[in-house]
Structure 1
Amino acid sequence: MPDRGSGGPTGPRIRVGRPSRRARTLLLTVGVLAVLAMLFVMFTGFWTDWLWYRSVGYRSVFTTTLWTKVGLFAVFGLLMAAVVGVNIWLAHRLRPPLSAMSLEQQSLDRYRMSIAPYKKWILLGISAVVALISGASAASQWRTWLMWVNGVSFGKTDPQFGKDISFYSFDLPWYRFLLNFGFAAVVLGLLAAALVHYLYGGLRVTTPGARATAQATGHLSVLLGLFVALKAVAYWLDRYGLAVKGSEFKATDNWTGLKYVDANAYLPAKTILFIIAIICAVLFFGTLWRRTWQLPVIGFGLMVLSAILIGGLYPAIVQKFQVEPNEQAKETPYIKKNIEATRNAYGIDDAKVNNYPGTSDAKPTTLRDAADTAASMRLLDPNIVSPTYQQKQQVRGYYKFPSTLDVDSYTTKDGKEQDTVVGLREINTDGIPKKGWINEHFKYTHGFGMVAGKGTEVNKDGEPVFTEKNLPPKGQLGDYEPRIYYGENTKQYSIVGGPQQELDYADDSGEKTYTYKGDSGVDLSNPVNRAAYAVKFNEPRMLYSGAIGEGSQVLYNRTPQERVEAVAPWLTIDGDPYPAVVGDKVKWIVDAYTTTNNYPYASRTTLGDTTADALTDEQRSVVAQQNQVNYIRNSVKVTVDAYSGKVDMYQWDTKDPVLKTWMKAFPDTVKAKSEIGDELMDHLRYPQDLFKVQRELLTRYHVTSPGQFYSGSERWQIPDDPTQEGNAVPPYYLSMKMPGEEKQTFSLTTTFNPVERQTLGAFMAVDANAGSADYGEITMLRLPSNTTVPGPQQVQSKINSDPEIANDLNILKRGDSDIEYGNLLTVPLKGGLLYVEPIYLRGADTNYPRMRKVVATFGDKIAYENTLAEALNEIFPTDGESGGEGDGDGGGEKDEPPAGDTSLKKAIQDVGDAWEKVNKAREEGDWSAEGRAQEELQEAIERMNKATG
């Protein structure tokens, strides 16, 4: 048969030659360029990060994080490679001679022959792969390592083992990582060794009764012994893990810590299993001399059986036959530990719970006078009036206000504090008249000015009374740098400072230009930097554009959250940064938290769920999304300069051990609290996200009596927002006076309902003024269960169902106008509770809301007027008073009679005394005493009702 490649009758001869030298050179050049391009892309991420951290002044954060990751990657990667590589090498070294091979070994011979020339490369390849994987896994534990190596003492010990809290927060997570790494290394080494032994005949599994050579038996037994020894260590650490273990419990949804069954069944079981595992590990090591697996296998089986019986069945028996018949008595000591730890971990251990009647017998005149000073009723709702700011103060389409504005407190010219609704006029690239790369990134680079309006006033048209407005800005805030290069809406990069002029602002005389004078960006004069950022932003025009030249800088990571998260990756950032004019600069103020999920006995909460409410939207993200924590502190206050982007972090909680740990890891990144100036201090406030976390915990943990906590009889719930169904009512900033206080203070307030009810259970406020001596002090006013004061949903329902209000609103809504209800504010007033709600009308022609009406309710009275003053005059009439204290409104759903009757005064006093006895009995868990007190309370109420007629 002719050769098809040699010509002849079958066809011409075909020659396949080597590529020419030119082709080989071209291919080699292309390959080299491709490799260089890949390396440059990889280098770009590192280089641009380094340039950015250098530009913002936090190089130490970058270098510390980088070298920590590199160190962990190298150490644990090499360690894993060594474990796997040595076991493969040792198994190969211990292989038996292959004379008189079995059929099983004969079938494996072709595999041995095929890998024989490449054994070293295979060994190196396997070691390299496991090194890369384990190194990358270890590098992700950089936070755990830094907390372990820099951890400081909490100065408090857990009640079960007497260990400092730092052991659980800083040490135990690192020990867990080491243990898991050890398990992974031993298992991989065991699998690799077993495979090599099998391949080379040291381990035979298909012959009757699997056999192993003495060398293979000894090698594998040592590895199994190490595995069991690590299991013993795991049992020992599990003992301490019980203090931070989460579990289900009737008393609370997120129980953490030991219960009766843990302390009396699981804890001794873990100790016994630890001893058994040590013995079992010794038996495995003993096979080096006995060369048989009989005893260690029996020991391992007994360990497994013990784990099932002692670690599983015995605790179930204890729970069923000891705990469940008398659960409250058995769990009371552990409930007490959980309450104390949880209240301390969330900073609510000093929260005050005061009884509050919920009703008032004050005269209308007294109530009317008190209403004027009880609070600065905020009629401007920051969640509603953003479109009004947009319509009245946007000025140009390329500016934008956030959808939710912020509330701050400013001092007026006459020295009074004024609640103010503020927003920055940020750049809006969607509104640029003519889109294009130059316009979007070079010309329209910044916003301009702050707009502020009085929180307590509107003009005759229902629009804000602006105290700072227009372009350039004018008003009460004085002279400051108005250009906003960094903001919540500024999410794309800009190139400034070069030959291309920026649009500053426009007025009747035309457009004004500007060149950025800050130094917060990364210099693009260097061609290497330009190339790196061309890759980073996928924009080749950055390489050759004439708009980039000497002095050009690129600004990115421009939202306050992005900048703070980058320079302090160990902090949890609040979801609502807010702007303030501090001196001659606009600064974003960002609250930051230190957290841990390993505080013994403290119940956990999920931050993302806890901090979501009716005001949470895309603009104002929830803190930390779905992170679970059981310890939180607002330990750092951060400012971000809206012009320069400069980030300054200040130590706020000087006692927080978690912050002290991170400050050791990243020295010179957080400034001392003493460096906070007075002007900045005036604008610091209590953060909403922390307040929302604390209020969620206080629905259960306002109770300090274990018996009362277990029964859940005093449990509260956070009301739904009456205007946005399905969303929790948000807390509100408000300058107000709590009962017993002489003057208003800037506060953060919220309300509670009793569980499964819509009446009001309690009112809560925290002093939010950072300059106050009582800053952070939480006070709750607990209403008596026999007084049915309406809650927010009931008040809103009452407003909606009032015939006069409903009829008037229907008239206002004619012509396709929409009604929007503002924030429903709750204010304690002379023993009762005053509700105030502004009502906005969004006209079809104007398309922005204007305040048209104010509703005020107190007890069973409701007023619907054009102004707040008129509404207060309506519910607190000052004409025709009889002069008795009883002429005032009750503040609840029952009327209070004149107080001149001696028998009535005595009955009222008896009601108060009986209520105190009820609360005291509940706190002490004395149910019989509570029953007697309830009877006294009922008798006193009947006498009071009889005295009132």
Structure 2
Amino acid sequence: MGLVVVFFIVAGFYADVLWFDQLGFLSVLTTQWLAAGVLFLVGFLAMAVPVWVSIQLAYRLRPIYAKLNSQLDRYQQVIEPLRRLAMWGLPALLGLFAGVAAATRWQTTLMWLNRTEVGRVDPQFHFDVSFFLFDLPFFQSALGFASAVVLICALVTVATSYLYGSLRVSGREVLISKAARVQIAITASIYLLLQAISIWFDQYSTLTDTNDLITGAGYTDVNATIPGRAILAGIAAVVAILFLVTAIIGRWRLPVIGTVLLIVSSLLIGSLYPWVVQRFQVDPSAKTLESEYIQRNIDLTRDAYDLSKIDVVPYNATTTAEPGALRADAETTANIRILDPAIVSDAFSQLEQFKQYYQFPSNLDVDRYTIDGKSQDTVVAVRDLKLEGLNAGNTWVNSTVVYTHGYGVVAAYGNQRTVDGQPVFLESGIPSVGSLGKYEPRVYFGETSPPYSIVGAPKGSKPVELDYPSGTDGAQQTYTTFTGNGGPKLDNVFKKLIYALKFQSEQIFLSDSVNNDSQIIYDRDPIERVKKVAPYLTLDSDAYPSVVDGKIKWIVDGYTTSSSYPYSTPIGLSAATADTENPAQPYALDQINYMRNSVKATVDAYDGSVTLYAWDTEDPILKTWEKIFPSTVKPMSDMSGDLMSHVRYPADMFKVQRAMLGQYHVTDPGSFYSHDDAWTTPNDPVSPPASPTLQPPYFLTMQMPDQKEPAFSIYSTFIPDASGATSRNVLTGYLSANADAGSTKGERSADYGKLTLLTLPKDDTVPGPGQVQAKFNADPVVSTQLNLLKQGQSKVLNGNLLTLPVGGGLLYVQPVYVQSTGGGGYPLLQKVLVAFGDQIAFEDTLDTALNVLFGGVSGANAGDTKVAPSTGTTPGTGTAPGNGTTPDTSTGNPATDAELRSLLEVAKQAMTEKQAALASGDFAAYGAADKKLSDTIAKMLALLGQ
């Protein structure tokens, strides 16, 4: 039985060796094993040896002729047959627990051994910040472990001494033999000495402790707590010496008095005195006395979250839409993304899934590609496998050997849609065709790939892996054979047995589909693969696919984090990154107070190869890990230009930064203390009122007021933080980060990562997202039209509410989708809501809506191919100038006027057909009527010379 258990353990280890070795990261695994193994041995010996020595000394130095009471005599009779086993077994058992505990601290230990200086000192003790990041956590961990060892040694010494008569209780008197006295006193002295050192180090912990006002040492800490801990450390050291004296002279009075003094001092100096200082000195004058320490907290918190270089720009946003105000922002408005990546997944599935064994993620990704020499925002997704779609055909052979990979990238223009509201694809189909050029379309490593697949075959053998559901010469399907290096080879019986055990499948061992050229690929999720080869990284919750250098590459952002940065306020990573599109997820280190996007990682969708690039080369934590795992992280200069052009600013980093900026945009200690200008991220206006979630940030190519040209950016908004009360949903700030990493030339953009915070005037009211959504919902004309859209078997879906700083103010844009509730229905983009200040417009196209608000915008959204402007029979909201009026069709030419009247009747008929089709849920008829209306209006405009 023991051999079977050992074999299973060895099989698991060997499978890990094969996986890491194939991927080229075997050193990562062996370094972890070596470090954990050494620490286990150290922890085992550090616990087992002192405990064994303590038991042996207490037993061997026992009084031979001690007079025992009957109860102890019975105890000895019971224990004596097991004495030898207990004397060796108990230390060994405790050593095992200690070894396991020590082994889990391998990261802390290796970081301390390979620590890197930060180059910045803390403002209180003037240590380099690396002391708090690397040294202090290790020292505190080591002191805690040593204290536990000594405490257990004291307990086993007392127990053994009592059991064998070295320590007796006679009435009120405690009798201790000389040997036991010396042993117990020395053990107590060592324990007190460790406590003295620990209390001394606790001074430094005040710089990461959080109080009611700030994180870090405040006035009370600096003037009472820190000096008090230094005094207590000295008292504990003196008491330790008194215990040594007792070991020599044999009198317990001095250490007992010293211990009582230590306890009383800890109450008076450690607790009471700081309370008195806080209550009677600080609280009455906190704003003044805490000012210096608040400033420390502000400065180091902003530094820890990379906010120190943020560009704050006052933005006197206007709330009145002036004619022609968007002309200066024509390029930004032309790139407004009307395709919502959180809604159009069903449209992608219906139009591009093709077979039931393919699928798209529920939330798609936003990327950009250069099309015809111009950067174009796109909504992208990978066509991945869905084995559940095989239903009865989901056998082991099909799910493991035949259906092994997804196929192709599907990409749609972010600012376009067809006349009936479908996405306009720039890359689609099986085989893939479009504007992205030739690339390897097969996706063996994706977010929903099977747990494992067996791929590869001898040269010349018949392919068995389904490539895509069509073929040549009348074939129903096309098959392929994997030719890359994607997983360990199953080229001998032992490996087959290893993986049959790992995946609990005898088929791996028995099937004739498995041959010596077969490879087994597993751990295929891109984030999971990066997590295994870089265990020190916290990874972004979203890996996004890009076509790079002729391949599909998953791009994953990696963060180095810490909870030990001095004077930096911590944040819950799971709470800060959760929003409508990403639910909260657990993190190994959730409460952090330092974060850097230190690594950009890629995973090849075809062969699963992982590449790590050092992105933040100044990050001391990354530098430390590069010493621990040398040659595993490549320099940023190794990035190709194509890859550089698809790297973007990480969303989770941006979410954390916006959460911190809610309070830390304030740099004045007085205002910070008063909490009179705190902000928060607004709830997503389209999230359920019963369970609201934060509005996610959005990627969009736009031009900020302080920029000379548009750039791919990520942005979010702020409203006042009501601290539990009902918040005023008005805009107070607008945050953006330049997400454009570089060009295809491989040069990193100097503006990448530049944070810009637009601060809005406090004496002017700019509606926030919630307020704008409420106006949309309450407007009588909008609600009437929405009710019309909901008639029949249809439902209306409000898309993402985008906010853009254009036209001298803040422009809101929201696409409106209509989806049939019948089988096979999917969202079609039918309307666009636009707001600027108090004015709103609800039109068929973004271009038309902007024209209604701003009185004409040349080329505002040329990519919006849906052309069906309001003709008067379809009213707007009635709140924008010129909306809802009937155009003048008189030209002075009777023939032309007659033709115009005839076309107007055709347009009215088309609109009637359009509404009827919408009510019945017949979207094919709706699209035909809509095209008829567009063509008719185009003819009318031509007659009018426009």
TM-score by length of 1: 0.86
Deviation at 1:372, TM superposition (A): 4.9
Q: 1:351 — aligned with what?
A: 310
Q: 2:941 — aligned with what?
A: none
Say if 1:61 and 1:567, in contact at 8 Å, map to a contact too.
yes
Deviation at 1:179, TM superposition (A): 0.4
Q: 1:672 to 1:248 in 2, by over 3 A?
A: same
Q: Which amino acid aligns with 1:815?
A: G
Say if 1:399 and 1:427, in contact at 8 Å, map to a contact too.
yes
Aligned: 1:419 with 2:377:
yes
Residues 162-177 of structure 1 aligned to structure 2 (within 5 Å): 162-177=126-141
CA distance in 2, matches of 1:369, 1:360: 17
Say if 2:325 and 2:808, in contact at 8 Å, map to a contact too.
no
Say if 2:319 and 2:836, in contact at 8 Å, map to a contact too.
no
Q: Which amino acid aligns with 2:291?
A: T
Say if 1:399 and 1:431, in contact at 8 Å, map to a contact too.
yes
**Residue number among 149, 154, 157 corresponding to 1:185 in the alignment:** 149
**Residue number among 818, 834, 837 corresponding to 1:841 in the alignment:** 818
Q: 1:149 — aligned with what?
A: 113
Say if 1:375 and 1:737, in contact at 8 Å, map to a contact too.
no
Q: 1:110 to 1:373 in 2, by over 3 A?
A: closer
Deviation at 1:124, TM superposition (A): 1.5
CA distance in 2, matches of 1:328, 1:718: 27
Residues 404-803 of structure 1 aligned to structure 2 (within 5 Å): 404-412=363-371, 414-433=372-391, 434-498=393-457, 501-507=464-470, 509-617=475-583, 622=585, 624=587, 627-724=590-687, 725=689, 726-755=692-721, 756-771=727-742, 772-803=749-780
**Equivalent position SS for 1:407:** strand
Deviation at 1:110, TM superposition (A): 3.6
Deviation at 1:857, TM superposition (A): 1.1
Deviation at 1:300, TM superposition (A): 0.3
Deviation at 1:161, TM superposition (A): 0.1
CA distance in 2, matches of 1:752, 1:297: 60
Q: 1:284 to 1:333 in 2, by over 3 A?
A: same
Say if 1:95 and 1:200, in contact at 8 Å, map to a contact too.
yes
Q: Which amino acid aligns with 1:82?
A: V
Q: 2:924 — aligned with what?
A: none
Deviation at 1:39, TM superposition (A): 1.1
CA distance in 2, matches of 1:855, 1:555: 47
Q: 1:72 — aligned with what?
A: 39
Q: 1:732 to 1:375 in 2, by over 3 A?
A: farther
CA distance in 1, matches of 2:323, 2:834: 14
CA distance in 2, matches of 1:368, 1:227: 76
Aligned: 1:220 with 2:184:
yes
Q: 1:652 to 1:372 in 2, by over 3 A?
A: closer
CA distance in 1, matches of 2:534, 2:551: 23
Q: 1:311 to 1:740 in 2, by over 3 A?
A: closer
Q: 1:72 to 1:878 in 2, by over 3 A?
A: closer
Q: 1:623 to 1:116 in 2, by over 3 A?
A: closer
Deviation at 1:507, TM superposition (A): 1.5
Which 10-residue stretch deviates more, 709-718 or 727-736?
A: 709-718
Q: Which amino acid aligns with 1:429?
A: L
Deviation at 1:877, TM superposition (A): 1.4
**Equivalent position SS for 2:324:** helix
Q: Which amino acid aligns with 2:18?
A: L
Q: Which amino acid aligns with 2:649?
A: Y
Deviation at 1:367, TM superposition (A): 2.9
5+ residue gaps, structure 1, are 1-33, 250-254, 880-892, 896-949
Deviation at 1:491, TM superposition (A): 4.3
Aligned: 1:365 with 2:324:
yes
Q: 1:801 to 1:362 in 2, by over 3 A?
A: closer
**Equivalent position SS for 1:244:** coil
CA distance in 2, matches of 1:794, 1:437: 54
CA distance in 2, matches of 1:575, 1:641: 18
In angstroms, what is the RMSD of aligned CA positions?
Answer: 1.7
CA distance in 2, matches of 1:337, 1:717: 22
CA distance in 1, matches of 2:189, 2:707: 69
Deviation at 1:786, TM superposition (A): 1.3
**Equivalent position SS for 2:718:** strand
Paired residues in the alignment total 837
Which 10-residue stretch deviates more, 290-299 or 648-657?
A: 290-299
Say if 1:375 and 1:827, in contact at 8 Å, map to a contact too.
no
CA distance in 1, matches of 2:638, 2:732: 42
**Equivalent position SS for 2:564:** coil
**Equivalent position SS for 1:151:** coil
Aligned: 1:853 with 2:824:
no
Q: Which amino acid aligns with 1:165?
A: V
TM-score by length of 2: 0.87
Render the CA deviation track for 1:271-309: whole Å, top value 9, x for unaligned. 110111111000001112211211101100110000001
CA distance in 2, matches of 1:802, 1:362: 18
**Equivalent position SS for 2:834:** strand
CA distance in 2, matches of 1:816, 1:326: 66
Q: Which amino acid aligns with 2:849?
A: A
Deviation at 1:361, TM superposition (A): 6.9
CA distance in 2, matches of 1:398, 1:586: 20
Render the CA deviation track for 1:2-35: whole Å, top value 9, x for unaligned. xxxxxxxxxxxxxxxxxxxxxxxxxxxxxxxx22
Q: Which amino acid aligns with 2:452?
A: Y
**Equivalent position SS for 1:832:** coil
Q: 1:813 to 1:368 in 2, by over 3 A?
A: farther
Aligned: 1:396 with 2:360:
no
**Residue number among 51, 54, 71 corresponding to 1:84 in the alignment:** 51
Q: 1:623 to 1:89 in 2, by over 3 A?
A: closer
Deviation at 1:172, TM superposition (A): 0.5
CA distance in 2, matches of 1:626, 1:831: 42
Render the CA deviation track for 1:145-168: whole Å, top value 9, x for unaligned. 011000000000000000011100
Deviation at 1:525, TM superposition (A): 2.0
Which 10-residue stretch deviates more, 155-164 or 203-212?
A: 203-212
Q: 1:625 to 1:117 in 2, by over 3 A?
A: closer
CA distance in 1, matches of 2:654, 2:569: 17
Which 10-residue stretch deviates more, 215-224 or 108-117?
A: 108-117
Deviation at 1:602, TM superposition (A): 0.4
Residues 794-833 of structure 1 aligned to structure 2 (within 5 Å): 794-833=771-810
CA distance in 2, matches of 1:762, 1:491: 44
Say if 2:850 and 2:856, in contact at 8 Å, map to a contact too.
no
CA distance in 2, matches of 1:697, 1:400: 37
Say if 2:540 and 2:557, in contact at 8 Å, map to a contact too.
yes
Deviation at 1:115, TM superposition (A): 3.8
- The alignment-based identity, stated in percent, is 45
**Equivalent position SS for 1:854:** strand
CA distance in 1, matches of 2:509, 2:49: 46
Say if 1:611 and 1:623, in contact at 8 Å, map to a contact too.
no
CA distance in 1, matches of 2:479, 2:271: 75
Say if 2:455 and 2:518, in contact at 8 Å, map to a contact too.
yes
Q: 1:630 to 1:789 in 2, by over 3 A?
A: same
Q: 2:906 — aligned with what?
A: none
Say if 2:320 and 2:837, in contact at 8 Å, map to a contact too.
no
Say if 1:462 and 1:852, in contact at 8 Å, map to a contact too.
yes
CA distance in 1, matches of 2:588, 2:368: 29
Deviation at 1:498, TM superposition (A): 3.6
Deviation at 1:843, TM superposition (A): 1.2
Q: Which amino acid aligns with 2:126?
A: G
